[in-house]
Amino acid sequence: MASDGRFEGIIGDEYEIFRKALPHYDELQEGVGLHIAEHLSTKSIQEPLILEIGCGTGHTTEAILRSNPTARVISIDNEPKMMEVTTQRLHDYVSAGRLIVLEHDALYHLQFIASNFIDAIASAFTIHNFPKHYRNHVLTLAYRALKHGGMFINADKYVSEDSSEHVAAFEAEMRMLRDTADAAGIPELYTSWYNHYLEDEKPERIMRESESIAQLKKIGFMDVRKTYRHLLEAIVCARK
């Protein structure tokens, strides 16, 4: 899937403000790194290979590398602006050979990975952007690429089945985004984020928690579980 421009313009230019707006943003990123570290601690792998789907501005990437000091990470993204930020921020990891950042479509990249090759696949704030049919193809190929016992982890927008809880969480995040954008003197940024969130709610894109867990199980994943939720975001883990 070619870039659909969801992070072009002001959203991509001012993405760090999104991080400032959500007090649990960093906790989510750290959770991904720590979950992978806990998983890998049960295995005897000298240099585990981790694939990250969507690098964003590199916060999740950094959390994974920091929590897993012997790991190598391949991070793929189809948004050049995000890749540039990540590569600059994590230059030392790139120079040390521990991080490769590639401009690739997720589905395109996954279809060329050998079966049973990757130790863990991670993502944050990316997979919810995929249309449902594309998302299913990505997750199916992610399962194929993982080694037996390998881990899949996603920190993302998972819609609660409790509609009142979801509405309250949506409104809370909108308030935080609006207040942060106003404080930064960029009120138009709130409008862009609001429209982005509305797009996430459309039937062809919305990522519901229960449907997502059922989807992973249908693909073949085991031990599928939610380990964290705050407002709209949750962490879902699974094992091949």
| pLDDT (0 to 100) of residue 140 | 98
Range 42-70 burial, b when 16+ CB lie within 10 A, else e: eeeeeebbbbbbbbbbbbbbbbbbebbee
Q: What is the mean pLDDT of the chain?
A: 93
pLDDT tens for 129-159 read 999 999 999 999 999 999 999 999 999 999 9
SS3 content of the chain, % helix, strand, coil (to 5): 50, 20, 30
Average confidence (pLDDT) over 119-126: 97
In this prediction, residue 12 has a pLDDT band, given cuts at 50, 70 and 90, of: low
26-73: pLDDT as tens digits: 999 999 999 999 999 999 999 999 999 999 889 999 999 999 999 999
Beta carbons of 237 and 175 less than 8 angstroms apart: no
Classify domain 22-161+204-239 by CATH architecture: 3-Layer(aba) Sandwich (3.40)
Confidence of residue 4 (pLDDT cuts 50, 70, 90): low
Residue 228's DSSP bridge partners are 235
| Tokens, residue 75 | 């991070």
Contact 50/73 with Cβ under 8 angstroms?
Answer: yes
Share of the chain above pLDDT 90, in %: 87
Given a cut of 90, whether residue 228 has pLDDT beyond it is yes
Q: What is the pLDDT of residue 79?
A: 87
Q: How confident is the model at residue 239 (pLDDT cuts 50, 70, 90)?
A: very high
Model confidence at 3, pLDDT cuts 50, 70, 90, reads very low
pLDDT value for 7: 53
Helices (DSSP H) in the chain: which residue ranges? 10-13, 15-21, 25-40, 59-67, 80-89, 91-95, 106-110, 132-145, 163-183, 187-200, 209-219
For the segment 176-205, the average pLDDT, to the nearest whole number, is 94
Q: In what order do the strands lie in the sheet with 146-157?
A: 99-103, 72-77, 49-53, 118-124, 146-157, 233-239, 222-230
Domain boundaries, the chain: 22-161+204-239
* Of the listed ranges 10-14, 75-79, 116-120, 204-208, the one predicted with least confidence: 10-14
